[in-house]
């Protein structure tokens, strides 16, 4: 394979992804994200789950919740406490068919936690375990492109939720900075 030397091709591919992400965000369930923003400060603890790149989106949002001073945990990590009534699980999955994410969502629900699913598939097995489904409707025929668009759009939507929380909780930059990682 010959090396790609045409920066215009890469730039065009990037612009194409941005256009797809923008189109998906225009159709995203913003009301659902508002509901999530309302639920987060009320939850005893918030657990965030996803696999692969969707898992990275979930972890990234968990970090933002920690910056906001909200208790956020990743199932499977050694310092994660027990879940139960009054807690919230946010599961992120494009297809809603990832076995590990489905299992954690089902288990959280059995334990009394409220389950919120962020997905592109409203009728997926993961969505069936949810108390609330928030759609980020990525529909591209190419699964790799579809997943990339979903993950970027979901991440941006969750960053928007964080920005709303910062305003609602009246957090100033110093309080956010105090919780930012400093052992790096």
Q: What is the predicted pLDDT for the residue at 2?
A: 64
Low-confidence ranges of the chain (pLDDT < 70): 1-4
The pLDDT assigned to 153 comes to 98
Rounded distance between C-alpha atoms, residue 68 and residue 163, angstroms: 10
The string of pLDDT tens digits covering residues 154-174 is 999 999 999 999 999 998 888
141 Cβ neighbours under 8 A, 6+ residues apart: none
Give the separation between CA 70 and CA 174, rounded to whole angstroms. Answer: 16
Asked if 122 contacts 135 with a C-beta cutoff of 8 angstroms, the reply is: yes
**What pLDDT, on a 0 to 100 scale, did the predictor assign at position 119?**
98
Q: How high is the pLDDT of residue 164?
A: 94
Catalytic residues: 151
- Compute the distance between CA of residue 44 and CA of residue 83 in angstroms, rounded to an integer: 9
* Angle, alpha carbons 125-129-131 (nearest 5°): 135
CATH number of the 30-173 domain: 3.40.50.10490
Q: What is the pLDDT of residue 174?
A: 83
Nearest to 150 by CA among 1, 27, 9: 27
Q: How far apart are CA 119 and CA 9, in angstroms?
A: 30
The CA-based angle 21-24-29, given to 5 degrees, is: 135
Which pLDDT does position 4 carry in this prediction?
Answer: 64
Domain boundary assignment for the chain: 30-173
- Token pair, residue 78, equals 């050694």
- Consecutive H or E run containing 159: helix 143-168
Q: Is the pTM of this model over 0.85?
A: yes
| Residue 104, SS3 per DSSP | helix
The reported pLDDT for the residue numbered 175 is 83
92, 82, 27: which is closest to 54 by C-alpha? 92
The pLDDT of residue 9: 86
Which secondary structure element, helix H or strand E, spans residue 73, and what is its range? strand 72-73
User: Which 3 state secondary structure label does DSSP give 136?
Assistant: coil
Alpha-carbon distances, residue 45 vs 65, 72, 91, 114 (angstroms): 10, 6, 14, 11
């Amino acid at each position: 394979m010959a090396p790609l030397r045409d920066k215009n091709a890469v730039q065009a591919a990037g612009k194409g992804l941005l256009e797809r992400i923008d189109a998906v965000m225009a159709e995203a369930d913003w009301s659902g994200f508002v509901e999530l923003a309302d639920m987060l400060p009320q939850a005893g603890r918030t657990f965030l789950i996803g696999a692969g790149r969707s898992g990275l989106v979930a972890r990234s949002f968990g970090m933002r919740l920690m910056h906001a001073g909200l208790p956020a945990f990743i199932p499977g990590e050694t310092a994660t406490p027990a879940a139960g009534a009054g807690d919230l699980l946010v599961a992120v999955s494009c297809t809603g068919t990832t076995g590990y994410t489905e299992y954690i969502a089902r288990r959280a629900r059995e334990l009394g936690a409220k389950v919120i699913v962020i997905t592109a598939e409203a009728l997926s097995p993961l969505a069936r375990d949810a108390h609330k489904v928030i759609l980020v409707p990525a529909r591209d025929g190419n699964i790799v492109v579809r997943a990339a668009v979903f993950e970027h759009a979901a991440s941006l939507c969750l960053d928007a939720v964080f920005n709303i929380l910062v305003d609602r909780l009246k957090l100033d930059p110093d309080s956010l900075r105090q919780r930012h990682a400093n052992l790096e």
